[in-house]
Amino acid sequence: MSRLLLLLPSETYRARDFLDAASRLDAEVVVASDHRQALAGALGDRALRVNLGRPEAAAQAIVELAQRTPLDAVVAVDDQGILVAALAAERLGLAHNPPDAVAATRNKTAMREAFASAALPQPAFRVVDDDAQVSSLAGEVGFPCVVKPVSLSASRGVIRADSPEQAERAATRIREILRQAGEDPAGPLLVEQYIPGAEVAVEGMLRSGELEIVAFFDKPDPLEGPYFEETIYVTPSRLPTSTLTTIGRLTSEAVAALGLVEGPVHAELRIDGERAWLLELAARSIGGLCSRSLRFGLGASFEELILRRALGLPLERLTREQAASGVMMLPIPRSGVLQEIAGQDEALAVDGVTGLEVSIAFGKRVQPLPEGDRYLGFIFARGETAGEVEQALRVAHSRLDIVIVERSAG
């Protein structure tokens, strides 16, 4: 039996899907997490408490565990654990990405510099070390611009500014978001050129440095700011084949520029006419529960493909099903306490809708972007065309009544 260590951050959506995939592969699972609840039910050398904020120490703890009971793979399910996984797998001689390459995906400045060294198309950018520079640096890249932290993910802390004054206010706000997130509020920020146009996401799998595209996702809702909350993803993309070829090529070149060689990658690009720009690339698969919109032969999930690759198991006959599919991440309309999401049965009754999952417990406080880091939940749909899927998602969302109140009752 294969033995697999999964790094499960406390805030991950994805524990169940990865654990289900491991069960399908009859793999014994070791859970490593920064949260006690994630370790519930795992005993002895099947549970490991680690501090994901200290990657070297966490990796060493995994190595020491593996010396007692060997591991066949170390897999991180989200951004927070990918550097730990790379360090541990390198020391254990398992399939891995170079730690320096993974670290670059977690630092937007390092990523921009790697792309620049490879002369890849991306937004013009400046690094802000002193907030007194914000307005002048924003003027250098031009307005509108985007101000963002070098850490954080899922568009948290990313703010469009249309003037020097807005850029300064955005920087102040981002500092507070970093403080709330437990990150260094005095760290560098990025000011980037705003690129108009549509956004596309790319899911891929690396095998010894060779990138295989798994899916191109359109994002049909405009992402124009001032915040950049993602909602709908649909595949297959409706962009021209020539554009998709360009996107695939740029993604492959970005992977090479960073030095990634193994496992899943998730890329974000902007398309404006015939031109494409790289926004970001992550050394993990699509976030949240969005991977549930992808299905593969023999009933396999995307998580199963990831684990198969990590464990060196065959991937033949596991090509993606050709039906159109998609997901809608339910946005948080305002801050407050989530009291109810009514209309779920009505949403599930929409033709083409295949699932709906609420991911925040009722009674919990919620907060929209740019401060927030969660979605209310996810709607899934399938159909003959991407257009049908998009329409099903929109209709289902319209049937939900999201009740958020100012404070908890009592």
Asked if residue 180 and residue 141 are part of one domain, the reply reads yes
Contact 151, 107 (CB under 8 A): yes
The whole-angstrom separation of Cα 139 and Cα 163 is 8
Average pLDDT over residues 245-250: 97
Asked if pLDDT for residue 70 goes beyond 80, the answer is yes
Number of domains composing the chain:
3
Final residue in a domain of this structure, among 193, 225, 241: 193
Asked if residue 131 and residue 86 are part of one domain, the reply reads no
Asked if residue 383 and residue 339 are part of one domain, the reply reads yes
Task: Give the CATH number for residue 87.
Answer: 3.40.50.20
Asked if residue 151 and residue 74 are part of one domain, the reply reads no
Average pLDDT over residues 215-221: 97
Domain that holds residue 29: 3-97
The answer to whether residue 133 sits within a structural domain is yes
**If pLDDT is split at 50, 70 and 90, which confidence band does 43 have?**
low
Task: Please state whether beta strands 336-342 and 401-405 pair in parallel, antiparallel, or not at all (unpaired).
Answer: antiparallel
Which pLDDT value is given to residue 315?
Answer: 82
Asked if residue 151 and residue 186 are part of one domain, the reply reads yes
Asked if residue 131 and residue 51 are part of one domain, the reply reads no
Which pLDDT value is given to residue 16?
Answer: 94
Residue with the bigger pLDDT between 243 and 37: it is 243
Contact 288, 375 (CB under 8 A): yes
The answer to whether residue 294 sits within a structural domain is no
Task: Give the CATH number for residue 383.
Answer: 3.30.470.20
The whole-angstrom separation of Cα 378 and Cα 152 is 21
Contact 99, 108 (CB under 8 A): no
Final residue in a domain of this structure, among 172, 193, 214: 193
Contact 220, 200 (CB under 8 A): no
Per residue in 298-309, pLDDT (tens digit) is: 789 999 999 999
Which pLDDT value is given to residue 35?
Answer: 75
Identify each DSSP E strand in 275-410 by its residue range: 275-282, 324-329, 336-342, 353-358, 365-366, 377-383, 401-405
Average model confidence (pLDDT) for the chain?
94
Per residue in 132-180, pLDDT (tens digit) is: 999 999 999 999 999 999 999 889 999 999 999 999 999 999 999 999 9
Contact 178, 157 (CB under 8 A): yes
Neighbour-count burial of 313, counting CB atoms closer than 10 A to its CB (0-12 exposed, 13-18 middle, 19+ buried): middle
Asked if residue 167 and residue 84 are part of one domain, the reply reads no
| Reported pTM | 0.94
Asked if pLDDT for residue 316 goes beyond 90, the answer is no
Which pLDDT value is given to residue 319?
Answer: 83
Total residue length of the chain: 410
Asked if pLDDT for residue 41 goes beyond 70, the answer is no
Task: Give the CATH number for residue 142.
Answer: 3.30.1490.20
**If pLDDT is split at 50, 70 and 90, which confidence band does 40 have?**
low
The answer to whether residue 204 sits within a structural domain is no
Asked if pLDDT for residue 38 goes beyond 80, the answer is no
Asked if residue 87 and residue 7 are part of one domain, the reply reads yes
The answer to whether residue 215 sits within a structural domain is no
Asked if residue 74 and residue 25 are part of one domain, the reply reads yes
The answer to whether residue 54 sits within a structural domain is yes
**If pLDDT is split at 50, 70 and 90, which confidence band does 75 have?**
very high
The answer to whether residue 50 sits within a structural domain is yes
The answer to whether residue 231 sits within a structural domain is no
The answer to whether residue 67 sits within a structural domain is yes
Final residue in a domain of this structure, among 175, 193, 211: 193
